[in-house]
Amino acid sequence: EELRFRSAHYPPTMSDFHNILQDTQLIRGGSAADGASSEPVKASSLAGKVLMLYFSAHWCPPCRRFTPLLSKLYNKLKSDGKHDLECVFVSLDNDEKQFDEYLSEMPWLAVPYSKNDERRDLAMKYGARGIPHLVVLDADGSIITSEGTESAQLDENGDEFPWRPPSFADIWPDSFLSVDEGGNEIRVSSEDIKDKHLMLYFSAHWCPPCRRFTPKLSAAYTEMKKSDYGKDFELVFVSSDRDVSQYEEYRREMTFPALDFADRKAKAALSRRYEVRGIPKLIILGPADKKTGERTLINDNLRGPIESGEYGDFPFPKRNYGDLDRDGGENINETKCLIVFHENGDDDEQEEVRNAVTGAAESLKDDKDAVGDGMNFYWSLNTGGIGDRVRDAMKLSQVGDNALAVLLDIPDGGGFYVMKEGADATEKEQLVDFVRNPGERKQL
């Protein structure tokens, strides 16, 4: 199984853009429109504008195909004058010669190639996991869309720019499918669940991990519906099946309702809105706002609680600490994290680890110097899971009798730190000190 890490998403703000670039002098591309100044522009002067951040590289064929389309769109939007906008190229080229050649084809601004740290930090902050990647920021710095590449291809004239995504109320259909006590299919009005929490299950019959998880989720749904909060939520299947026959066969294995397979536009819009890049994915939203119908995303990864059978923390708010296997599998690729291993500990020792890690997370939550924009804290107390793969990646595969603490910082080029020998990883204060003063950096 591939060693795959993915982190919780913390939406960037305009201050992130400026904190990274500050007064960096942005340079103008070689194909700027007639009359456009060739003088460098301070990044700070772009405050208040709608910004397109274009992550791309000359070596990337899809990028070279997309850049002329984006150039045409950019020039049209600038000449129309309907939007106070600018585009900034953030290069992922392999050398400065490629960068210079590529920039000569562009009409917009660019972060200089020499600003390596800034380019890397922007790519990490704005999720440039694949290119071409176009992010549109509003005048206040909030992200309008991270799907600008697709939007530009579908809207070459920019008629819908800046491609504000539809609200949840605009996406969600008027009804969905369920079955009554007699097993007959019925339609449920969406009005009936507007005051309830809503779980969305993105899954498909053709997906083996989905097929393994669905029986657990069905059993969990049945049990949760019997609880005190059973009337406070609903769970709806959002299908990625390839045809209606697969969808109908899969539904027969489920104890919960489903979005109608015919609602393909709603399914696609929900997948984009909640960044569904892999399945199975289970999320939970809050009740609908009485005025707007909007629903707040509470947690974008509920598989952990379902897998563990621990349902008492409803509505499962997002936390920055927990079990590595249950909570960390999709959360450690882009966020620094502390992991304490103690696979050979007895029950009391493992409970000490849980308490120490939870306490460290609480103690450091407001310490920006230590945790930066965000950090997660995990314990790994069993073999055979993600912990084994993390250990192997750090060449720490031998499991000892004492707790072992590491600080894993994949976003920082795969760096990690190991708590010094003799320190006690079951003590909160020593974990806090380790996070603040991690010592020698090692490399994955």
pLDDT in tens, 18-68: 889 989 999 999 876 655 667 899 999 999 999 999 999 999 999 999 999
Report in angstroms the alpha-carbon separations of 47 from 105, 137, 391: 25, 11, 44
pLDDT averaged over every residue in the chain: 91
Q: What is the DSSP letter of 329?
A: T
pLDDT at position 304 over 60: yes
Count CB atoms within 10 A of the CB of residue 4. Answer: 12
3-state secondary structure of 323: strand
Give the model confidence (pLDDT) of 100-131 as tens digits.
999 999 999 999 999 999 999 899 889 888 89
From residue 44, give the alpha-carbon distance in Å to each of 54, 62, 123, 328: 18, 31, 18, 36
Q: How far is CA 17 from CA 46, 110, 132, 162, 231, in A?
A: 10, 14, 19, 18, 43
Looking at residue 221, its amino acid is Y
Q: Does residue 224 surpass a pLDDT of 80?
A: yes
Instruction: Kindly report the pTM of this predicted structure.
Output: 0.73
Cα–Cα dist 11/146, whole Å: 11
CA distance 75 to 107: 8
Sign of CA dihedral 130, 387, 363, 298: positive
Contacts of 135 (CB under 8 A, 6+ apart): 52, 53, 55, 126, 127, 143, 145, 146, 148
